[in-house]
């Protein structure tokens, strides 16, 4: 009897997993940015490749612009099986792992080349599994770019930021970064940033050229400081349960399609860092402030003490590996 019950349970499990669905396996990919961004383009490329390579077997639907879920809800939605793929920024995983806070440390990576070198190390591979115990599996990392500061008044030295309200992602490191310059950090969803800036409920925010351009923040911020003070990237993530239930051959093809889509998304990121900055400059809607090396050094000096505060949470070995990646 017991054998019969176990056999029945296995049968029911097989029937409810993705492999047992009638028709193609359906993947909903939810994200918060516009289509014309590195993440938006990567998601579209992934859909295109999967539909070429796994026609009739897997169907991908992409939901951009937080149409389905904001980043603060999407990780729960993955665990509930309401979506199958997402790529929140690395700053939004704090509830699931402390290690990814590495990427929020101000002035850690000198440029995207350094991030690429770090991503090629074993340390970064381990980071993909850092949320696994919580039921989430990292499948790959994608760039957006280096972050800039935007505000309603010019920011050239840290003292200019004192007393101002800045929207941040849900990261305690980012909160500490703005507290270090005596500003007031406000954790808010990405989908609310434009309105918060427009209504002057907040004074500024930090983001990449691509996000500032595609979400039109430059139309409601008079000044953007080219600070490159931090990195904004993503972890493409799925639920461990969904992924492990996939047939091996399908999972393998999806992994390849994702790797190709990420390579493409990273190219888009590099191009957009240049072209979206230029488009903002050409619009004449916002003044771009280029910092002198003395001014930049003041920001570094003010914000760098944040590293020490989070060293135990993140791990000194990871911070050292990131610093090593700055040496070309």
Residue ranges binding ligand SIN (CB under 6 A): 32-33, 39, 89, 144, 169, 190, 207, 211
Q: How far is the CB of 21 from ligand SIN (least distance, A)?
A: 29
Q: Using CB positions, name the residue nearest to ligand SIN.
A: 190
CA distances from 176 to 89, 90, 172 (A): 18, 16, 6
Instruction: Give whichever of 131 and 246 is closer to ligand SIN, judged by the CB atom.
Output: 131
Q: How far is the CB of 244 from ligand SIN (least distance, A)?
A: 26
Instruction: Give whichever of 89 and 286 is closer to ligand SIN, judged by the CB atom.
Output: 89
Instruction: Give whichever of 33 and 102 is closer to ligand SIN, judged by the CB atom.
Output: 33
What φ, ψ does residue 127 adopt, rounded to 5°? -60, -30
CA distances from 122 to 109, 165, 320 (A): 17, 38, 13
**Residue 322 C-beta-side C-alpha neighbours within 13 Å:** 27
Instruction: Give whichever of 267 and 298 is closer to ligand SIN, judged by the CB atom.
Output: 267
Using CB atoms within 10 Å of the CB of residue 321, give its burial: 0 to 12 exposed, 13 to 18 middle, 19+ buried: middle
Instruction: Give whichever of 41 and 89 is closer to ligand SIN, judged by the CB atom.
Output: 89
Structure tokens at 247: 């047939």
Instruction: Give whichever of 25 and 78 is closer to ligand SIN, judged by the CB atom.
Output: 78
Beta strands in the chain (DSSP E): 25-30, 58-63, 85-86, 136-151, 165-168, 184-187, 204-208, 223-239, 287-290
Instruction: Give whichever of 196 and 291 is closer to ligand SIN, judged by the CB atom.
Output: 196
Q: Count other C-beta atoms under 10 Å from residue 319's C-beta.
A: 17
- Contact status, residue 41 vs residue 252, Cβ threshold 8 Å: no
What φ, ψ does residue 103 adopt, rounded to 5°? -70, -15
- Contact status, residue 250 vs residue 114, Cβ threshold 8 Å: no
Q: How far is the CB of 265 from ligand SIN (least distance, A)?
A: 12
Q: How far is the CB of 150 from ligand SIN (least distance, A)?
A: 11
Q: How far is the CB of 116 from ligand SIN (least distance, A)?
A: 18
Three-state secondary-structure class, residue 228: strand
Q: How far is the CB of 85 from ligand SIN (least distance, A)?
A: 14
Q: How far is the CB of 207 from ligand SIN (least distance, A)?
A: 5
- Contact status, residue 71 vs residue 39, Cβ threshold 8 Å: no
């Amino acid at each position: 009897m017991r054998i019969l019950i176990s056999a029945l349970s296995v049968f029911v499990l097989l029937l409810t997993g993705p492999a047992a669905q009638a028709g193609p396996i359906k993947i909903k990919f939810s994200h918060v940015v516009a289509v014309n961004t590195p993440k938006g383009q990567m998601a579209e490329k992934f859909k295109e490749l999967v539909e070429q390579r796994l026609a009739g077997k897997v169907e991908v639907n992409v939901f951009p612009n937080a149409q389905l879920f904001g980043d603060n809800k999407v990780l729960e939605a993955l665990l509930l099986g309401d979506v199958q793929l997402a790529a929140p920024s690395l700053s939004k995983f704090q509830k699931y792992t402390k290690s990814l806070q590495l990427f929020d440390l101000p002035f850690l990576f000198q440029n995207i080349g350094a991030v690429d070198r770090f991503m090629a190390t074993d340390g970064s591979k381990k980071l993909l599994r850092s949320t696994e115990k919580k039921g989430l599996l990292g499948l790959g990392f994608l760039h957006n770019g280096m972050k800039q500061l935007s505000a309603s008044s010019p920011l050239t030295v840290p003292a200019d930021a004192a007393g101002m309200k800045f929207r941040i992602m849900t990261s305690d490191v980012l909160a500490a970064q703005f507290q270090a310059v005596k500003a007031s950090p406000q954790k808010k969803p990405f989908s609310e940033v434009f309105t918060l800036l427009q209504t002057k409920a907040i004074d500024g925010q930090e983001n990449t050229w691509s996000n500032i351009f595609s979400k039109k923040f430059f139309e409601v911020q008079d000044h953007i400081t080219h600070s490159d003070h931090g990195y904004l990237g993503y972890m493409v993530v799925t639920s461990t349960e969904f992924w492990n239930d996939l047939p091996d051959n399908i999972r393998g093809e999806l992994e390849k399609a994702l790797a190709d889509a990420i390579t493409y998304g990273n190219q888009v990121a590099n191009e957009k860092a240049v072209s979206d900055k230029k488009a903002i400059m050409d619009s004449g809607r916002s003044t771009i402030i280029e910092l002198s090396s003395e001014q930049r050094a003041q920001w570094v000096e003010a914000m760098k003490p944040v590293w020490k505060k989070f060293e135990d949470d993140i791990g000194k070995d990871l911070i050292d590996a990131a610093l090593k990646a700055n040496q070309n």
